[in-house]
Amino acid sequence: MEIGFIGVGNMGLPMSRRLLAAGHRLIVCDLDPTRVRQLADDGAETVATPGAVGDRVETIFTSLPSPAALEAVTLGPDGVSSGKRARRVIDTSTVGPQTSRRVAAGLATAGIALIDAPVSGGAGGATSGTLAVMVAAAADERDVAEPILSELGRVFTVGDEPGMGQVMKLANNYLAATALAATSEAIVYGVKAGLDPSVMIDVLNAGSGRNSATVDKFPRSVLPGTFDYGFAVGLMCKDLRLFASSAEDLGVPQWIASAVRNYWQFSCDQLGDDADFTRIVQPLEAWAGVEARAHHGAPAG
């Protein structure tokens, strides 16, 4: 199948490679010429604009960093909606339900369907094809999209309308953000009291404190001090803002979410938008005067 792919960043690049490996022909577009060249070397064809992608293929993936980027790529000047062949956009971005519904309505005026399909599992999951894919679209469009999406991971149908996939993704990322923030605080607490952080993680993973941060993020990126998980602090802050906006629209209280969002925003201010999100342990470490690394839990400095 000939497929378009717009946005080949940390997630889009490995997803594109999975589709190429599955035998699909790819037409790619991105603002980063280095990423585009990498995919061209892998056998993809490249074009300069989203509109050019829409002129070439019926099915187009998007993996974009913000609501504004999705709206520009789909509905802006020389966007996908101006393409002569485009029939559906499979959006794997995290943009919130309001934007997803707004883009779906705009694309519909051009006869293009939006398949809301955000993903979870990070760059590692994108590379290995083990993402969780949360699909919301009309049944006939799901029938087209799901065989392709299955190349990327496990597909879950969460609804019939664009926006419902976004709700599921925001709930997922809120819980992931909460687990990482709370685990960071708990581990720094233990290290300050004299515990070994590696032993703490082992105990937590054998007990009731087990969560996505103790199982994956701490062993992989925090304890070894590599901080290379591949997701930015600024993107998680964006997702938490989207969660807050959507929850407020629905009248859902945010007692815990408010505290989590405040700490993430503080960390973003301290570390910068582009820092790996596993670095959110570092402001806590600085306060406590310890480092939560494998084999040394002694006070820093």
Decide if pLDDT at 98 tops 50. yes
Task: For 273-292, give the secondary structure using H, E and C.
Answer: CCCEHHHHHHHHHHHHCECC
Rounded to the nearest integer, the mean pLDDT of the chain is 96
Task: Report the CATH superfamily, name and number, of domain 167-288.
Answer: N-(1-d-carboxylethyl)-l-norvaline Dehydrogenase; domain 2 (1.10.1040.10)
Instruction: Kindly compute the dihedral angle of the four CA atoms of residues 133, 138, 139, 144, in this order, to the nearest 10 degrees.
Output: -60
Q: Please say if the pLDDT value at position 296 is more than 70.
A: no
Evaluated on CA atoms 296, 237, 79, 246, the torsion sign reads: positive
Q: What pLDDT is attached to residue 64?
A: 97
Residue 299 has pLDDT above 70, yes or no: no
Share of the chain above pLDDT 90, in %: 97
Residue 270 has pLDDT above 70, yes or no: yes
Residue 207 has pLDDT above 80, yes or no: yes
pLDDT of residue 162: 98
Residue 298 pLDDT: 43
- Structure pTM? 0.94
Instruction: For residue range 73-96, list pLDDT tens digits in order.
Output: 999 999 999 999 999 999 999 999
- How does residue 295 score in pLDDT terms, banded at 50, 70 and 90? confident
Q: Average of pLDDT values for 122-139?
A: 96
At 300 the pLDDT is 41
For residue 186, the one-letter residue type is A
169 catalytic, yes or no? yes
What residue segments make up the domains of the chain, in order of their start? 2-161, 167-288
Quote the Cα angle for 241-210-156, to 5°: 60
Express each pLDDT in 225-236 by its tens digit: 999 998 999 999
Q: Quickly list DSSP for 91-149.
A: E-S---HHHHHHHHHHHHTTT-EEEE--EESHHHHHHHT-EEEEEES-HHHHHHHHHHH
The pLDDT of 115-137, averaged and rounded, is 96
Decide if 2-161 and 167-288 have a common fold.
no
- The pLDDT assigned to 100 comes to 98
Catalytic residue among 84, 169, 192, 217: 169
Q: Which amino acid is at 252?
A: V
Are the CB atoms for 54 and 83 separated by under 8 Å? yes
CA distance 220 to 64: 25
Q: From the centroid of its chain, how far is CA 60?
A: 18
Answer yes or no: is pLDDT of 120 > 80.
yes
Tokens describing residue 256: 């815990």
Output the six-digit token pair for 179.
Answer: 């687990």
Would you state the pLDDT for residue 171? 98
Mean pLDDT of 166-173: 98
- 2-161 CATH, one of 3.40.50.720, 3.40.50.2000, 3.40.50.2300, 3.30.1540.10: 3.40.50.720
Per the structure block, which two tokens stand in for 215? Answer: 């199982």
Provide the pLDDT confidence category of residue 65 given band limits of 50, 70 and 90: very high
- Spatial distance between the Cα atoms of 81 and 131, rounded to a whole number of angstroms: 28
